[in-house]
Amino acid sequence: MASLDAASTTLELPPLDCSLLFPDLINFHMERNPTFPMFMYPNEMVTGATTEISFLEFGRAAHRIAHTLRPSCQDPDGQVVMIIANTDSLLHHAVVAGISIAGLVPFPVSFKNSAATIVNMMKKVNCSRIVTLAHAHRGLINDICLESEGMQLTLDELPTLARAFPKLGNEVAADPFVAYPPPAKRPELHSPAIYVHSSGSTGSPKPIAHSYQFQIHWMTQPGILGYANVVARRIGSMTHRPIHAFALWAQLYAPLSYLTTTVVYPPRTWKDPRAQPIVATSDNAIECVRQTKCHCVIFIPALLEQTVTSEEAIEVLKNVELVCFAGGPLPVKVGDALWAAGVPLCTNYGGTEFGSPFAIANKKDIADGDWGSVRFGDGIEVRWAPQGGDTYECQVLSTENNRVAVENLPDVRGYATGDIFMKHSTKDMWKFIGRADDDIFLASGEKIVPAPIESIIKSSLSPLVKAVLMFGRKRNQVGILIEPHPEHAIDVNDEKAVVEFKNKIWPVIEEANKMLPTCSRISKEMILITSSDKPMLQTAKRTAQRKGTLEAYEWEINALYDTVEAGQSSLNGLAGLSSTLLLFFSLCVQFIVAWIQKDLRHRVA
């Protein structure tokens, strides 16, 4: 254990050698660092003020939740408890911690997943209990109950913020509190401590077990350790939803391991449990950074991109020690503009399956403008698998002190990430350039792996359809390019034929959408049919050549987005009109879209 001084108070860092597990770390800080602020947020009641949640208060909240969800230690240890709740980050993390303190295994799940997807994950981890918000997710929960026919589900209401934090921001040691009983037996290091699901962008989210050992190993990785060297260590990660693995380490693991303070949005549910949490925007994120005086802030790329046109936002970011982005790519033009304006920009890299192996950017790399590249930290063993063209796949290997959560390599213990990098020309740095499986990164930062979705649609529509390619990189929604089988080819200049073909394939796509998260779903307007005189390019294996084909159809794809987005923008401005007028206007827009597409096809032909 190490000590450090802060504000004349001696603080104590916990041992991260697996002698203490995740629940133990919470109890450690309650005893050794009770007044240190674990969370901070702007006080909406007092202008210019902030509210702090100490380790003591957060730990007590977790213990209260443990009492609520597993009173008197009833039921066996190790049961998996799924959390489906769109609520404040502070409460969500307290629920995760409380379930763990109770000797159970938390499984936070995105409420954007379909019922079928959620039930599938529940079966894989043998979960039959859900903690949720009935008022917010009634429809989804009803669908889960229908989908899980034969399973005996237990549904519990999420404990309220007021129940967990009765003195929100003001609890002291003298306030009433009853600790949850310690476990009768220490969990096995390799047993699941928490389940975290993959992004769901593949169309089939997978539950990934993080063992107690992996949790501690993640806390010792350079991606968390590096933030301990940020001055004052006040880290803003308010734009990340608490259900994601990234939020777990930035908002929960970092404070517990290295005494950082996590800045989040103000909770909204203390007085009204039905209140919606704050939805992240670039404006409210910048205001949160300004009010809390963050020393480091981590953005999702879509929101960071919006700050580039705001002089006020850039002035705020210039006074931050580090401005990081994670969860997707940032357009080069945007990154260069922010860096040129004096923003200390850098990128983060990590994954649910292997943690945060990158080292926090140093001042020289930032000064040199290497904002898009990362260094891999000490103690991380990486193998670079050549992919051709000076590109390499990152493979993170398991070691005694850094075991990955998922091992999928055939020859050694480790994880093949599927992430493709290019080496820096003069430094020991690496730039992420894409996915081996052609991930699509939306403007929102959501990541979509198109291959499985394309495969489902193609196989379901055979022999009507020969090939399917999904597109949508850096766009707000995805679309698909479909090539009909030769005997079902149509004249794409024939509007009636196009409509009839779309109607034939739509039921299959509509059914596939039910299994996909919101960001991966395909609207009817975003279906593009190939022309018979311009078939998809093929590889030597007779599969569609993604890059070449999408480049060949780039003009049509851009025109489709321009047309559809123009139509949506027009509809959004007519909220006050009657349903009859809206229907009429919608039909007019659809007619115009169809007419423009027909005209575009004539031009291409």
The pLDDT, as a whole number, for residue 587 is 53
Same domain, 333 and 446: no
C-alpha 397/C-alpha 413 separation (Å) is: 6
**245, 404 Cβ separation under 8 angstroms:** no
Higher pLDDT, 160 or 541: 160
Model confidence at 326, in pLDDT bands (50, 70, 90)?
confident
The pLDDT, as a whole number, for residue 93 is 98
Q: H or E element: which one contains 588?
A: helix 579-604
Same domain, 417 and 508: no
In a domain, 278, yes or no: no
In a domain, 219, yes or no: yes
In a domain, 175, yes or no: yes
Say what the pTM is: 0.76
On average, the pLDDT of the chain sits at 87
Closest CA to 93 of 68, 124, 61, 119: 61
The pLDDT, as a whole number, for residue 541 is 39
Same domain, 115 and 236: yes
Same domain, 103 and 218: yes
Asked whether residue 576 carries a pLDDT value surpassing 50, the answer given is no
The percentage of the chain sitting over the pLDDT mark of 90, rounded to a whole number, equals: 62
| Secondary structure (H, E, C), 78-135 | CCEEEEECCCCHHHHHHHHHHHHHCCCEEEECCCCCCHHHHHHHHHHCCCCEEEECHH
**Straight-line distance from the first to the last Cα atom of the chain, in angstroms, rounded to the nearest whole number:** 72
Same domain, 411 and 431: yes
Q: What angle do CA 115, 118, 120 make, to 5 degrees?
A: 110
What are the φ/ψ torsions at residue 235 (nearest 5 degrees)? -115, 125
Closest CA to 595 of 489, 498, 484: 498
The pLDDT, as a whole number, for residue 244 is 85
Model confidence at 593, in pLDDT bands (50, 70, 90)?
low
Asked whether residue 537 carries a pLDDT value surpassing 60, the answer given is yes
Asked whether residue 239 carries a pLDDT value surpassing 80, the answer given is yes
Same domain, 243 and 374: no
Higher pLDDT, 587 or 520: 520
Same domain, 202 and 237: yes
Which residues lie across from 479 on neighbouring strands? 471
In a domain, 580, yes or no: no
Asked whether residue 183 carries a pLDDT value surpassing 60, the answer given is yes
The pLDDT, as a whole number, for residue 464 is 87
Same domain, 84 and 198: yes
In a domain, 93, yes or no: yes
**Residue 34 in tokens:** 């009770």
- Burial label for 324, CB within 10 Å (0-12, 13-18, 19+), is buried
* Interval 403-413: pLDDT, tens: 999 999 999 99
* Final residue of a structural domain among 415, 437, 459: 437
Q: At residue 290, what is the residue type?
A: R
Same domain, 379 and 249: no
Same domain, 59 and 193: yes
In a domain, 586, yes or no: no
The pLDDT, as a whole number, for residue 230 is 59
Residues 6+ apart with CB under 8 A from 202: 448, 449, 452, 453
The pLDDT, as a whole number, for residue 568 is 64
* Final residue of a structural domain among 376, 403, 437: 437
Q: Work out the average pLDDT over 244-272.
A: 93
* Final residue of a structural domain among 392, 415, 437: 437
In a domain, 7, yes or no: no
Q: Work out the average pLDDT over 141-149.
A: 94
The pLDDT, as a whole number, for residue 574 is 44
Range of the domain at 317: 300-437
C-alpha 228/C-alpha 230 separation (Å) is: 6
Lowest mean pLDDT among 95-99, 362-366, 509-513: 509-513
Measured CA distances, 193 to 80, 81, 251, 263, 385 (Å): 9, 11, 17, 25, 31
The pLDDT, as a whole number, for residue 332 is 77
The pLDDT, as a whole number, for residue 592 is 60
What are the φ/ψ torsions at residue 362 (nearest 5 degrees)? -95, 170
Asked whether residue 583 carries a pLDDT value surpassing 60, the answer given is no
DSSP classification of residue 186:
P
- Burial label for 384, CB within 10 Å (0-12, 13-18, 19+), is middle
* Interval 121-143: pLDDT, tens: 999 999 999 999 999 999 999 99
Same domain, 91 and 160: yes
C-alpha 561/C-alpha 525 separation (Å) is: 9
Domain count, the chain: 3
Domain containing 315 — which CATH number?
Answer: 3.40.50.12780
Asked whether residue 195 carries a pLDDT value surpassing 90, the answer given is yes
C-alpha 246/C-alpha 326 separation (Å) is: 8
Highest mean pLDDT pick, 50-54, 114-118, 466-470: 50-54
The pLDDT, as a whole number, for residue 7 is 44
Same domain, 332 and 206: no
The percentage of the chain sitting over the pLDDT mark of 70, rounded to a whole number, equals: 88
In a domain, 415, yes or no: yes
Token look-up 């308010």 returns 238
Q: Helix, strand, or coil here: 592?
A: helix
Model confidence at 540, in pLDDT bands (50, 70, 90)?
very low
Can you list the alpha helix ranges (DSSP code H) found in 398-543?
Answer: 450-461, 495-514
C-alpha 271/C-alpha 37 separation (Å) is: 22
Measured CA distances, 382 to 135, 229, 354 (Å): 46, 23, 11
Lowest mean pLDDT among 26-40, 100-114, 462-476: 462-476
Q: What angle do CA 231, 235, 236 make, to 5 degrees?
A: 145
Other Cβ atoms within 10 Å of 102 Cβ, number: 28
Domain containing 43 — which CATH number?
Answer: 3.40.50.980
* Interval 355-396: pLDDT, tens: 999 988 889 999 999 999 999 988 899 999 998 778 899 999
Domain containing 505 — which CATH number?
Answer: 3.30.300.30
Model confidence at 309, in pLDDT bands (50, 70, 90)?
confident
